[in-house]
Amino acid sequence: MAIVNGNVIGNLSGKLGNLSARTVDGRTVLAARPSSFNASQEPAVLEVRQKFSITAKFASAILALSSLVSIWKKVRNVASSVFNEVFQSNFAHSSTDKPTENNIIAPEGFPLQIAVAAVAADKITATIPILNTASVFGADEVNLSANAIVCYYDPAKAEDEPFKIISLSKEVAAHNFAQTYDLEIDLNATQKNT
């Protein structure tokens, strides 16, 4: 593996022959791939690969939400990327066919007990409890960022993907942390067809 200094030709990404390139924190990282490779077809190995794929899709859905990325950046290990931190925190919680309710969208914080949440055909709704009893908020903390990951599974048609994940976010300006809040996040046209 090599880190390229002075990217004369810009940041590289992808594969070229037996080289693989990716951009990490603005630097290009090159790695040599093996010339030949036979992936094991043992059931235990296939199960781990499937769980790996599920967790990678879940981590990518989290990274689609900028508010969650900024939170994960604060707790990540300096040597790993945000994706790797999210992935490592969720791998043990994923199953081999879909993410589970135990997967983590944000690292440890204050407990938030959502009493009522629902997914409709065109929106998600939730009742967010009074927050100033769960944590202390400073005078400069006045806005609320609500983020959700919705996983649809058990499709009606056999040819559909076994599960689909959508990422949702809503910014609430001048939120009153001393009151409950009835959150509604509308689904866009693509998400409605999921």
Determine the Cα–Cα distance for residues 93 and 91; give it in Å rounded to an integer: 5
**Quick one: pLDDT at residue 84?**
93
**Quick one: pLDDT at residue 164?**
93
Burial class for 108, CB neighbours closer than 10 Å (0-12, 13-18, 19+): exposed
Take residue 78 and report the two structure tokens written for it. 């300096």
What number is the average pLDDT over the span 177-192?
A: 88
At residue 24, does pLDDT exceed 70?
yes
Q: Which residues pair with 72 in a beta bridge?
A: none
**Quick one: pLDDT at residue 7?**
64
Read off the pLDDT of residues 61-94 as tens digits, 9 standing for 90 and up.
Answer: 999 999 999 999 998 877 788 999 999 999 999 9
Determine the Cα–Cα distance for residues 23 and 98; give it in Å rounded to an integer: 28
Tell me the domain boundaries of the chain. Answer: 2-32, 38-109, 110-194
Take residue 140 and report the two structure tokens written for it. 């400069």
**Quick one: pLDDT at residue 194?**
63
**Quick one: pLDDT at residue 75?**
86
Buried b (16+ CB within 10 A) or exposed e, 137-164: eeeeeeebebbbbbbbeeeeeeeeeebb
Helix or strand or coil: residue 178? Answer: coil
Per-chain mean pLDDT for the chain: 87
**Quick one: pLDDT at residue 8?**
66
- Give the model's confidence band at 29: pLDDT under 50 very low, under 70 low, under 90 confident, else very high: confident
**Quick one: pLDDT at residue 156?**
85
Q: Please report the beta strands in 89-142, taking only residues with DSSP state E, as ranges in sequence order.
A: 116-119, 123-128
Q: Which of 15-19, 30-34, 118-122 has the highest mean pLDDT?
A: 118-122
What number is the average pLDDT over the span 119-144?
A: 87
**Quick one: pLDDT at residue 4?**
66
Q: How far is CA 168 from CA 10, 13, 79, 117, 153, in A?
A: 32, 28, 29, 14, 17
**Quick one: pLDDT at residue 149?**
93
